[in-house]
Amino acid sequence: MSDKTAQRLHLVFGGELVDPSKNVFKDVDDIHIVGMFPNYQSAYDAWKAEAQKTVDNAHMRYYIAHIHRLRDEEREISATEELG
């Protein structure tokens, strides 16, 4: 096992919603993947920049997904691994 600290990966993505009161994308094929970031602060900065660009469109939403929470490093198999 390495001495390195566990990465706290975050994915920033967004797109146009069907209805601004729900988290349902109008076109999943048109989701904008901003990128993967090594920590929350850099993800937040990217999220804020994208959100500010689309502030005039009430149907546009950007999100930060906490990718590191999908994987439990203490378990041998996590819910995100393929079952074979």
Instruction: Write down the domain spans for the chain.
Output: 22-69
C-beta separation of 36 from 9 below 8 A: yes
- Read off the pTM: 0.76
Give me the pLDDT at residue 6, please. Answer: 66
Query: In the chain, which ranges are continuous DSSP H helix?
Result: 40-53
44-53 pLDDT per residue, tens: 999 999 999 9
**pLDDT: which is higher, 37 or 2:** 37
Buried b (16+ CB within 10 A) or exposed e, 50-75: beeebeeeeebbbbbeebbeeeeeee
| Tens digits of residue pLDDT in 57-75 | 999 999 999 998 876 555 5
